[in-house]
Amino acid sequence: MKKLMLGNEAVARGLLEAGCSVVSSYPGTPSTEITEFAAKYDGIYCEWAPNEKVACEVAFGASLSGSRAACCMKHVGLNVAADPLFTLSYTGVGGGLVVCVADDPGMHSSQNEQDSRHYAIAAKLPMVEPSDSAEAKDFVKVAFELSEKYDTPVIFRTCTRIAHSQCAVELEEPLTPVKKEYVKNPQKYIMAPANAIRKHPVVEARGEALVEYAETCALNRVEIAEGSELGIITSGTCYQYVKELYGDSVSVLKLGLVNPLPEKLIRDFAQKCKRVVVIEELDPVIENHCKTLGIEVDGKNIFPICGEFSQSLIAKVMGLEAREFVTPEESAPVRPPVMCAGCPHRGLFYVLAKKKVTVLGDIGCYTLGSAAPLNAIDSVLCMGASVSGLHGFNKASGADAEKKTVAVIGDSTFMHSGMTGLANIAYNGTNSTVIIVDNSITGMTGHQQNPTTGYNIKGDPATKIDLEALCHALGINRVRVVDPYDLKATEKAIVEELAADEPSVIISRRPCALLKYVKAKPSLVIDPEKCRTCKACMKLGCPAISIKGGKAVIDATLCVGCGICQQLCAFGAIGGGNND
């Protein structure tokens, strides 16, 4: 039976068909739906871990016990999971272990454009890369076989265009998960120096064996076009663009195992072609390998390193005929993502902007507080950096900075890697003010549960970690909760905690307005007779409010009656809804 499947769903199906028993992940676009789809299968235990390092270690534990296991993350999540990953390369596996990572060329939803293939090289791990959903499912199964045969974790790499594209996938019978018997084996699993010293040469030998495998494995495929002088070496989604452009008219070496790369296979392919071009997004990994082999290729001398490829980008670089298209004279105003109408983050950022507070931000929906008209954020680096960065900022700048600088971090991000930074604030002593924006869900990635929500991945009740108690336990005495829909109370809390002579945490608590259990109030209405067009309400950057015919108006299809704009109107022009 065939089914149209998102790449991420196909990966999940591959996990099922491979008999994978345990999946632990942290959400991150574009990888999130792998674990969400996997959680729908009864045969796989799935969970959202607090972060990727935990997820990877959970998968390690399951593998150690003899079961097939996986963890899934976005590319920057692999940075967090890198610590266990590098030494897992030495221990090897019990049951097969697959680490799924989704890169984001073009940065649709990411803070950088890193190329995960470098991790495979640095950690000396095999990396498999499919070019569409159908391959994604099949390659997951191959990845588990490789993992067990070569006693190694296998990295499974996708990118946005694989993860979030659908094509037909042939469904096959799932394997019944097999659990090997757990056998204590300290020399294999205790990576203390004496054992690690013995293990390193094993890792090197494994690498050589994998190169041998790469020469002949079915993951790598040569498509020779008789009479073609041009040969293209490519992998992943770029293969699809190449086929779209050239069909079967050029020779193609399609690599499905992108680490280690074959040598003889590439040499033989290059010999059959007059010109060899390497077409790969992001860094010149395949290209540099070819050059190391002494093979002359074109690559990043003609193709960009930055951004995503497409069939027309390749056509342009390769000198093929471009398509005609219309170019309207007037430009379309950009439409950046915005905080939703009724977003609880809006009230908080409005107050922070009004008080001209320096804000170290973090990763999540609330990163949008950086956008106009609020412009309320000064820095965003990575998960958790707001809290640790605030401490460094305040240490370097002294008491004055402490009175006007805050960190803003979400509930899920705080559990991911904000806690350790907060412990540092308490332990090493700055009078820092950390604001946890607790919207009771992991928002940006599409509503995943986390340890503070009280529910697990299946929506079943789970232990709910008490943020107030947690902050107290991390050494913070001043912990207070405010409702960001209440601007006055929010301002009072910020002013008082910034002034305090000890570290403090403000929990800005209000569930995401898009959560199903959050009932919208009736839309507010602006009385045009009373509106003086002072535009005070426009400072909120609410997508439901605009100026039409010289007066502010509220779009009733968007407004959820949060009432923040009412608190800003000095003329009482905003009414309707109910004000409880």
Partner 1 sequence: MTNNTKNIMIVGVGGQGSLLASKLLGKLLSNEGYDVKVSEVHGMSQRGGSVVTYVRYGDKVYSPIIDKGEADFIVSFEKLEALRYAPYLKKGGKIIVNTQEIDPMPVITGAAEYPHESLEHLAALGVDIDAIDALTPALAAGSSKATNIVLMGRLSKSLDIDKEKWLAALRESVAPKFVEMNEKAFELGRA
Decide: 564 and 547 in contact? Cβ < 8 Å.
no
> Smallest gap, in angstroms, from Cβ of residue 164 to partner 1?
5
Angle between helices 344-354 and 487-499 (to 10 degrees): 50
For partner 1, which residue of 183, 372, 396, 570 counts as binding (CB under 8 A)? 372
d(CA 3, CA 312): 29
Nearer to partner 1, 150 or 309 (CB): 309
The position carrying tokens 């649709």 is: 108
Judged by CB under 8 A, the residue of 90, 119, 156, 241 near partner 1 is: 241
Work out which of 4, 178, 205, 473 binds partner 1, going by CB under 8 A: 4
Applying CB under 8 A, which part among 184-192, 193-201, 418-426, 535-543 lies near partner 1?
535-543
Facing residues of 478 across strands? 504
- H/E stretch holding 524: strand 524-526
* Residue 89 near partner 1 by CB under 8 A: no
Q: Which residues from 117-136 bind partner 1, rule CB under 8 A?
A: 132
CB of 364 to partner 1, least distance (A): 10
Among 65, 87, 288, 310, binds partner 1 (CB under 8 A): 310
Question: With binding defined as CB under 8 A, does residue 164 bind partner 1?
Answer: yes
Question: Measured in Å, how far apart are the chain's first and last C-alpha atoms?
Answer: 54
CB of residue 106 to partner 1, shortest distance in Å: 10
**Which of 186, 201, 227, 328: binder of partner 1 (CB under 8 A)?**
328
Check whether the bond before 30 is cis (ω within 30° of 0). yes
**In 318-379, which residue ranges form alpha helices assigned H by DSSP?**
344-354
The binder of partner 1 chosen from 63, 220, 240, 251 (CB under 8 A): 240
Residue 166, interface with partner 1 (CB under 8 A)? yes
Write the CB contacts of 539 (distance below 8 Å, at least 6 apart in sequence).
350, 373, 374, 568
Mark the segment that binds partner 1 (CB under 8 A) among 38-46, 321-329, 422-430, 479-487.
321-329
Among 463, 557, 578, 580, binds partner 1 (CB under 8 A): 557
370 binds partner 1 (CB under 8 A): no
Min separation Cβ 338 and partner 1, Å: 4
**Beta carbons of 19 and 384 less than 8 angstroms apart:** no
For position 320 contacting partner 1 by CB under 8 A, the verdict is: no
Cis peptide leading into residue 260 (ω within 30°): yes
Instruction: Pick the closer one to partner 1 by CB: 88 or 540.
Output: 540
Residue 562, number of CB atoms within 10 A of its CB: 25
303 counts as binding partner 1 under rule CB under 8 A: no
Distance CA(225)–CA(454), nearest Å, equals: 58
Confirm or reject binding of residue 541 to partner 1 (CB under 8 A): yes
* 92-111: contacts with partner 1 (CB under 8 A): 108-109
CA–CA gap between residue 475 and residue 481 (Å, rounded): 17
Residue 192 or 372 with smaller CB distance to partner 1? 372
Q: Is residue 447 at the binding interface for partner 1, with CB under 8 A as the rule?
A: no
The stretch near partner 1 (CB under 8 A) out of 226-234, 277-285, 286-294, 441-449 is 441-449
* Per CB under 8 A, 323 contacts partner 1: yes
Residue 337 touching partner 1 (CB under 8 A): yes
Footprint (CB under 8 A) of partner 1, residues 489-528: none
For residue 44, the minimal CB distance to partner 1 (Å) is 22
Give strand pairing partners of 370.
Answer: none
Only one of the segments 160-168, 180-188, 348-356, 447-455 lies at the binding site for partner 1 (rule: CB under 8 A); that segment is: 160-168
* Residue 355, token pair as written in the block: 């008080």
Cβ–Cβ < 8 Å for 13, 169: yes
Q: Which helix (H) or strand (E) holds 139?
A: helix 133-149
Nearer to partner 1, 62 or 314 (CB): 314
Shortest gap between Cβ of 290 and partner 1 (angstroms)? Answer: 24
DSSP H or E run through 5? strand 2-6
What separation in angstroms does the CA of 171 have from each of 7, 21, 236, 250, 443?
Answer: 14, 19, 21, 31, 32
And the tokens for 201? Answer: 């040469």
Q: From the CB of 55, what's the least distance to partner 1, in Å?
A: 19
Integer Cα distance of 556 and 553 in angstroms:
9
Under rule CB under 8 A, residue 247 binds partner 1: yes
Count residues binding partner 1 (CB under 8 A).
Answer: 57
Is residue 473 a contact residue for partner 1 (CB under 8 A)?
no
| DSSP letters spanning 480-495 | EEE-TT-HHHHHHHHH
The stretch near partner 1 (CB under 8 A) out of 120-128, 250-258, 335-343, 451-459 is: 335-343
Burial of 400 (0-12, 13-18, 19+ CB in 10 A): exposed
Torsion of CA 99, 105, 111, 114, to 10 degrees: 60
Binding site for partner 1 (CB under 8 A): 2, 4, 29-30, 32-33, 108-109, 132, 161, 164-168, 237, 240-241, 243-244, 247, 310-312, 322-330, 332-340, 365, 368, 371-373, 444-446, 538, 541, 543, 545-547, 557
